[in-house]
Copies of this chain bind each other. A is one copy, B any other.
Amino acid sequence: MTEADQSAVASGVRDTEAPEEEEAGSAGYEEGVTDLLAALAYGELSAFDRLAEDSREAPTLTGRAALASMAAAEMGHFRLLQDKLSERGVAVEDAMRPFAAPFDAFNASTAPHSWLESLVKAYVGDGLAADFYREVANWLDPETRELVLTVLSDTGHSAFAEREVSAACAEDDSLRDRLTLWGRRLLGEAVTQAQWVVAERDALSELIIRGSGDLAGIGSLLRRLQNNQNKRMSRLGLG
């Protein structure tokens, strides 16, 4: 991530010197949590969609069944989030609605052109999202934190993607270079859309600012995300 990206994200979450303290249970906190759960829920629904589509393109019946099973597991996570939101008196479809546009924009701007591109996209996109949500989970009440960590558990896609992508790149340098550029582009697009989300959702941006402490805190969060992204690319045999 470039310095410019980082400051763009930082300005997306607003420049606030002294965020007022809000406890778990306060209206602002609760609204932020609802937003977070709703963003996660729409993310699961999108992941289902993308994995189901990839499953159709899989070159073998084994791959097709494996991806379809992973898609199904995402809906198991979706169900947990739906139930939690419903306990909070919120219908999941209403809560998700504001997140549909930025998630769909990310997917439209990064439509994969091959089976390997779609594997890299799922791996990088899910990994980045999981890292981000895991950071946010640290700032939540224990019950919500536990739910967030549960729905972030990997559905088996990662090992599958690592195996397929490294095998394909091991003997094809030009493929490896193309997929490396693809991975970087995905990161850039994800940052653009994340910035949009955070800028639009006041309660969510408050949650993040309060959690990370200040702009310096957000800067280190972004550096941790970038480091993890580099490691992920290496595990795919890219980078």
Interface residues, chain A, with chain B CB atoms under 8 Å away: 45, 48-49, 52-53, 55-56, 60-62, 64-65, 68-69, 71-76, 78-79, 82, 92-93, 96-97, 100
Contacts and interface: CB of A to CB of B under 8 A. Distances in A.
Number of copies: 2
A49 B55 contact: yes
A49 B82 CA distance: 23
A100 to B, nearest CB: 7
14 contacts: A45-B64, A45-B68, A48-B55, A49-B52, A49-B55, A52-B53, A60-B93, A61-B93, A61-B96, A61-B100, A62-B93, A68-B75, A69-B75, A69-B79
B78 A69 contact: yes
A65 B82 contact: yes
A97 B61 CA distance: 8
Q: 9 closest pairs, A vs B, by CB?
A: A52-B52, A72-B75, A72-B72, A61-B93, A62-B93, A48-B68, A69-B75, A68-B75, A49-B56
